[in-house]
Structure 1
Amino acid sequence: MSVSPQLKKLQSAWITAENFRPYGQVIFPSQDGKSFDQDDAQLSLHNGIPRFYIMRLYNQGLEFHHLTRHTQCTQCLGALEGKDWFIAVCPPCNDVSEPILDKIAAFHVPGNCFIKLEVGTWHAGPFFQHEFVDFYNLELSDTNLVDHFTHNFHKTHQLGFEIV
């Protein structure tokens, strides 16, 4: 007899540079002409051909049971049209093969910034409450083919998550 997965609620926090640091960076607008510094996205795209594209996603709710990571590049995500959104993340933990359950966090991202996920950061989303959102995405051209490692919490812990 199969056991129904338990649903764990993740309280989202408004994203800041400080609270998102274990997972990557938040990039807010800056004045034109500002010199490159630590507040700019520190990218790792040297393992292939960068791909910058716009992906249209439709509302799939705020529940998930998979987390994915990319170990060969950073990834940048941001919403167009100023739409807010959510993401769930877990810090990079390259010495283990699955996300650390008690380190999973959720963030509410305003539409006036983008995020850079550090190499190896586990993530689920973007999630949102709009009908659809167009996101720009910067990763490698083959990230989703050769650098896409997913952990299924339904299978390993009979667990799902809901961002609240």
Structure 2
Amino acid sequence: MPKLVTRQQITAIPITEANFQPYGQLITASLDGKVFDETDAALNLRHGTPRFYIMRLHHRGRVFNKITRHNLCTQCLGSLNGQEWFMAVCPPSTKTEPEIDRLKAFRIPGDCFIKMEVGTWHAGPYFDSQVIDFYNLELSDTNVVDHFTHNFSTKQNLEFEIVD
């Protein structure tokens, strides 16, 4: 008999520089000519060839049961065309599984991007639209050699739903 999976709701909070800091950086527009400082994305792409591309995602909804991390690089994500989206994250740690009690969901406007620290657990992007294009900066082989996934439904009989 299959085990029942329990759905937990996570309320999405509006992203700010301060509340996203345990997971990475929120990057917003700056004036042309600004000198490099701590408000710029601090990238770690030294373990391979950087890959910057546009990924087209089709209706993702807001329910998830898996979360992934990359231990060799930072990752940057942002939507094109000003589309709002959601991301669930757990901070990096030395543990082999994400700390569920530190799982947060963020509402991210379409006029910024996020840089996730090396090892940040992440589920998403999620959104309500039919299709959104995202730019993605990671390493060329991130999804082959640096893709560690935790499945909440098989390990804890859980899935999550991001709500407003």
Per the alignment, residue 76 of structure 2 pairs with: 76
Amino acid at match of 2:143: N
Deviation at 1:60, TM superposition (A): 2.0
1:143 aligns with 2:142: yes
Per the alignment, residue 6 of structure 2 pairs with: 6
C-alpha distance in structure 2 between counterparts of 1:61 and 1:100, whole Å: 23
**What's the CA shift string for 1:94-114, capped at 9, x where partnerless?**
x21000010000000000000
Per the alignment, residue 155 of structure 2 pairs with: 156
**What's the CA shift string for 1:66-92, capped at 9, x where partnerless?**
000000000000000000000000000
Amino acid at match of 2:123: A
Deviation at 1:51, TM superposition (A): 0.1
- The count of corresponding residues between Structure 1 and Structure 2 is 163
C-alpha distance in structure 1 between counterparts of 2:118 and 2:59, whole Å: 26
1:15 aligns with 2:18: no
| Regions of 4+ moved over 4 Å | none
| TM-score normalised by the chain length of structure 1 | 0.98
* Greater strand content: 2
Per the alignment, residue 52 of structure 1 pairs with: 52
Aligned Cα root-mean-square deviation (Å) = 0.5
Per the alignment, residue 119 of structure 2 pairs with: 120
**What's the CA shift string for 1:95-137, capped at 9, x where partnerless?**
2100001000000000000000000000000000111100000
Q: Secondary structure at the match of 1:133?
A: strand
Per the alignment, residue 88 of structure 1 pairs with: 88
**Gap runs ≥5 in structure 2:** none
**Gap runs ≥5 in structure 1:** none
| TM-score normalised by the chain length of structure 2 | 0.98
Amino acid at match of 1:139: E
Amino acid at match of 1:151: H
Amino acid at match of 1:67: I
C-alpha distance in structure 1 between counterparts of 2:83 and 2:60, whole Å: 16
Amino acid at match of 2:31: Q
Q: Secondary structure at the match of 2:106?
A: strand
Q: Secondary structure at the match of 1:54?
A: strand
Deviation at 1:24, TM superposition (A): 0.2
Q: Secondary structure at the match of 1:99?
A: coil
C-alpha distance in structure 2 between counterparts of 1:65 and 1:88, whole Å: 11
C-alpha distance in structure 2 between counterparts of 1:133 and 1:25, whole Å: 22
| Identity between Structure 1 and Structure 2 (%) | 58
